[in-house]
Structure 1
Amino acid sequence: MNSPPDEIPGKKLTALSLAALGVVFGDIGTSPLYAMRECFHGQYAITASAGNILGVLSLIFWALLLIVSIKYLGFILRADNEGEGGVLALTALIKPKNIKPRTPQWALVGLGVFAACLMYGDGMITPAISVLSAVEGVKNITPLLEAYIIPTTIIILGGLFLLQKRGTARVGRLFGPIMLLWFCTLAGLGIAQIVNYPEVLAAVFPWHGISFLLENRLHGFIVLGAVFLAVTGAEAIYADMGHFGKRPIQLVWFLVAFPALVLNYFGQGALLLVRPEEAYHPFYALVPDWAMIPMVILATCATIIASQAVITGSFSLTRQAIQLGYLPRLRVTHTSSSHMGQIYVGPVNWALMLCTIGLVLGFQSSSKLAAAYGVAVSATMLITTTLFFVVASKRWSWSRLTAGLLTALFFAVDLPFFAANMSKLFHGAWFALAIGGFFFLIMLTWEQGREILGNKMRSLTPRLETFKKMLAANPPQRISGQAVFLTRGHDIVPAALMHNLKHNKILHSEVIFLNIRTEEIPRVPNFEKIEAEKLGAGLYRIIAHYGFMEEPNIDTIFALSRSKGVNLEMKEASFFLGREKLSISEHPEMWRWRSHLFLFLARNAMDAAAFFDIPSDQVIEVGVQLEL
């Protein structure tokens, strides 16, 4: 769906804001469960003295203000691609039409794609750490339940992933109200402590954070890796912009999420000033004994919602990558008739489930998981800042000085957090980087492999003008009917047609060359989707333009083509598709192991007929043998 307009009616704005609260802020909203704890009880914990507590609170407050409020909500959200956000949409803004390898643009696009791949690692760690940290609250009810923490977490996560295929549209209506209750509870718990110890409010002054870093030096710098946990989820705010628009997201952040988070963190700090021994779980220490059971239930619900948002984001990212040509075709199932963002991608779901449950079994505690969390997110933020500079200076025509000064400010915040998170590399942070690198390798291999095959196909078949001359010089027998050939380019004759003509010696009375292109924008309006051209001799060329958030459909293409003067009828048409039989040559253009990887991806890709929803009884496949 398109980004909502700036002027939104009151009722619609309220509904969008409530929905945004449930989807957009789930990840960052559950950070209070573990962020403060990791600063004073984690892998690199620092003593919970008054100076250190005020210093950490100051760093958290200014991180939320500078990274989320100013960087993302103030500037990054302006870099929308026709209303859509996210690092792939941002990358599409700077990608030239005909990009050449080993150029600065190619490097920037590669950075953007790598940042997108890192989101898969985030999609695995976020559900694991969020749900596990919530369930660990049962220890505060009774230590006897500690043995059930891991099994319960696995059951919850397993159930969450198993439900994805059924869709979350019905349950999703509860997300907003539950998260509103969650944020109100965060604020209430924080206020109850701040009222008793208001001196904690002095942490809003930045010199407490600066003093903390100067006094603790290397140790204080490393603690920044734990402080950063308070802002994980900021990238999701940008990625989900297309579903809700800028205004509802900004409204909900400044009126609900930001105040609630700050109040809760300051409440935890006020508690630690008096009871530093509670550093092992300061969040649950805020909760009165009588409210502990409902609090654990509410926290678990909130973390499930946060996990759902990350999982859905991974599905959306996969769909974008498929449409942009970075991944092979996979079946994308729509699980809701009213919300186009509700989709399901089976292979991604099962991969996320196995890795997420594996992380819980491998790390055993949310504190150990926190030691692995943050590198992928901080790297993505750095890349987003880099791409933002390019968009601001090239597309918005900002002066290099203005764009450079703003980017320098963002880098001044992003770089220390990234460097601090890199200290976690040998404590599990390598996992997210490895997952990102794995997906990056797959995307590069698929894109390069398709380019190699495209070049080989172009060398095997004539251009359209040459083909027309061949027909004029040696007319084949024509039979009545419409034959539709999918083509890689608008001026290339597909190999399927040449093989059919060579072996069957016939040609249909109407031959349609259909080229489906994915543009670097999220959606293409219907009146701009189709270019139709009559080439003479019964030949027609149709170019269908789709955005990277859309899924091409043959019925729609036929209907729009009729309005352009090409009378296509689904019942009359036969679809000729090339079935490529691939092998590896003696001297492959890619490394041999990458060629094998490409073959594996190609064999497991969804066939074109199913992907474009072409009736199987109207498809004729023609084999084409190609070597990599």
Structure 2
Amino acid sequence: MILCIAVTAGFKNQSQIGNAYGTAVVIVMLVTTFLMVPVMLLVWKSHWILVVIFLVLSLTVELPYFTACINKVDQGGWVPLVIAITFFVIMHVWHFCTVKRYEFEMHSKVSMAWILGLGPSLGLVRVPGIGFVYTELASGVPHIFSHFVTNLPAIHSVVVFVCVKYLPVYTVPAEERFIMKRIGPKNYHMFRCVARYGYKDIHKKDDNFEKMLLDRLLIFVRLESMMDGYSDSEDLTVMEHKAKRSTRSLQLIEKAGGNNTMSSTGDLSYSSSQDSIVLAKSPLTGNSLTRYSSQTPGDELEFLNRSKDAGVVHFLGNTVVQARRDSGILKKVAVNYVYAFLRKMCRENSVIFNVPHESLLNVGQIYYI
């Protein structure tokens, strides 16, 4: 509103306002026309002749208007162009820094095989409770986790790596929203959860994200115990087929970096991913194998309930992105000031998912890009 008032007050007459408005409308019409072409070809599956006819008819009307507006750029038509370029620069800075931050996390992630090679205790003190570690990675151990345990060698008895992904689909049904999988043997008590949302899914204030995660974790353990009870070879073949499908789907999530086009499937909750496959190769002691084989599903459910009663903690990475010292002036301004300001203006995941403040633990890090 302030920008509209400033633009209106800045013009000296109605003619310049009309030129600015006309330029903005014509640009919107041209962009809409060109975006309709891939929609007709890829979504509607229209014949290419119909696409050409639509494009020719639309441009026949729009190009004369566009030519007329070009002649009036110096008479007020420059305002929407300046505003468009400004927003383009802001979006480019946000996209560039976000991609660089994700690449840094991918490069600095810790191998899951190395973590599990430390044994069920992970070389740490396992305290009662459940720890949700939020990360943008669909595989591997995020750098914030290794950074935390290096400075404070203690972690909860149950660890769940939570990855929130926004898919290019309208909405994801609630029953298909969470992909839960186990990491390593049962006595490690480590899981990974991928929460998927569509671009129209709204996070309501009364939604309890923590409760949904805990309920999904308990359901997964129960379903896993039912799967372990299958002894028929045909049933095992079906389960192996589902595991292969889920593995390919999770690989697509990791390759896309959060912008994958994977379709929603309900059987992904039974998945065993690359992490689980790698874990089978990790060195285990004889005592670990004994505890793993002797643990029953009822004991694990009771253990999860006791850990839930002991308390839940959410680990979020409070990362600060800065430009390297040898970077240029433009990059330093874009990263250290523009991107930092945009990050402060955006809501954090703790606010989006209604994480209780008393259960929140931020792990600070500085990324140099």
Q: Which residue of 2 aligns with 1:578?
A: 317
Aligned partners of 2:133 and 2:161 also within 8 Å: yes
The change in CA–CA distance for 1:480 and 1:473 in structure 2 (over 3 A counts) is closer
**1:332-365 deviations in Å (ceiling 9; x for gaps):** xxxxxxxxxxxxxxxxxxxxx2211112322255
Q: Which residue of 2 aligns with 1:485?
A: 133
CA distance in 2, matches of 1:604, 1:570: 35
Q: Which residue of 1 aligns with 2:289?
A: none
Letter in 1 for 2:334: R
Q: TM-score, normalised by structure 2?
A: 0.68
Aligned residue runs from structure 1 range 39-58, under 5 A: none
Larger radius of gyration: 1
Letter in 2 for 1:584: A
CA distance in 1, matches of 2:74, 2:118: 64
Q: Which residue of 2 aligns with 1:175?
A: none
The change in CA–CA distance for 1:600 and 1:501 in structure 2 (over 3 A counts) is same
> Alignment RMSD, CA only?
2.6
Asked if residue 614 in structure 1 is aligned to residue 262 in structure 2, the reply is no
CA distance in 2, matches of 1:456, 1:600: 20
Q: Which residue of 1 aligns with 2:170?
A: 522
Moved more, 599-608 or 618-627: 599-608
Paired residue secondary structure (1:402): helix
Paired residue secondary structure (1:371): helix
Q: Which residue of 1 aligns with 2:189?
A: 538
CA distance in 1, matches of 2:203, 2:141: 21
- Corresponding residue to 1:595 among 313, 331, 335: 335
**1:291-319 deviations in Å (ceiling 9; x for gaps):** xxxxxxxxxxxxxxxxxxxxxxxxxxxxx
Q: Which residue of 1 aligns with 2:234?
A: none
Asked if residue 388 in structure 1 is aligned to residue 41 in structure 2, the reply is no
Deviation at 1:572, TM superposition (A): 2.8
- Corresponding residue to 1:401 among 32, 44, 49: 49
- Corresponding residue to 1:434 among 82, 87, 90: 82
The structure richer in helix per residue is 1
**1:421-477 deviations in Å (ceiling 9; x for gaps):** 222211112111111111111111111101111111222221434433344595322
Deviation at 1:551, TM superposition (A): 3.6
Asked if residue 558 in structure 1 is aligned to residue 211 in structure 2, the reply is yes
CA distance in 2, matches of 1:474, 1:545: 29
Aligned residue runs from structure 1 range 78-97, under 5 A: none
Paired residue secondary structure (1:418): helix
**1:204-232 deviations in Å (ceiling 9; x for gaps):** xxxxxxxxxxxxxxxxxxxxxxxxxxxxx
CA distance in 1, matches of 2:111, 2:59: 49
Deviation at 1:559, TM superposition (A): 2.0
The change in CA–CA distance for 1:570 and 1:550 in structure 2 (over 3 A counts) is farther
CA distance in 1, matches of 2:158, 2:119: 13
Asked if residue 457 in structure 1 is aligned to residue 105 in structure 2, the reply is yes
CA distance in 2, matches of 1:409, 1:463: 56
Aligned partners of 1:544 and 1:557 also within 8 Å: no
**1:501-546 deviations in Å (ceiling 9; x for gaps):** 1121112111111111111123222122111112241111111111
Letter in 2 for 1:489: L
CA distance in 1, matches of 2:6, 2:70: 22
Task: Structure 2: give runs of 5+ residues left out of the alignment.
Answer: 221-303
CA distance in 2, matches of 1:550, 1:624: 30
Paired residue secondary structure (1:481): strand
The change in CA–CA distance for 1:418 and 1:471 in structure 2 (over 3 A counts) is farther
Number of equivalent positions: 276
Aligned partners of 1:522 and 1:549 also within 8 Å: yes
The change in CA–CA distance for 1:461 and 1:570 in structure 2 (over 3 A counts) is farther
The change in CA–CA distance for 1:521 and 1:377 in structure 2 (over 3 A counts) is farther
Q: Which residue of 2 aligns with 1:130?
A: none
CA distance in 2, matches of 1:608, 1:410: 43
CA distance in 1, matches of 2:178, 2:309: 17
Aligned residue runs from structure 1 range 4-403, under 5 A: 353-403=1-51
Task: Structure 1: give runs of 5+ residues left out of the alignment.
Answer: 1-352
CA distance in 2, matches of 1:405, 1:523: 33
Q: Which residue of 2 aligns with 1:444?
A: 92
The change in CA–CA distance for 1:387 and 1:360 in structure 2 (over 3 A counts) is closer
The change in CA–CA distance for 1:403 and 1:492 in structure 2 (over 3 A counts) is same
Aligned sequence identity (%): 22
**1:584-621 deviations in Å (ceiling 9; x for gaps):** 21344983332232233234443332233211111111
CA distance in 2, matches of 1:551, 1:492: 29
Moved more, 603-612 or 578-587: 603-612
Aligned partners of 1:496 and 1:624 also within 8 Å: yes
Deviation at 1:561, TM superposition (A): 5.6
Paired residue secondary structure (1:447): helix
Moved more, 488-497 or 467-476: 467-476
Letter in 2 for 1:488: E
CA distance in 2, matches of 1:437, 1:529: 37
Aligned partners of 1:375 and 1:418 also within 8 Å: yes
Q: Which residue of 2 aligns with 1:418?
A: 66
The change in CA–CA distance for 1:448 and 1:552 in structure 2 (over 3 A counts) is farther
Aligned partners of 1:457 and 1:495 also within 8 Å: yes
Paired residue secondary structure (2:172): coil
Letter in 2 for 1:592: K
Moved more, 366-375 or 582-591: 582-591
Aligned partners of 1:479 and 1:509 also within 8 Å: yes
The change in CA–CA distance for 1:415 and 1:511 in structure 2 (over 3 A counts) is same
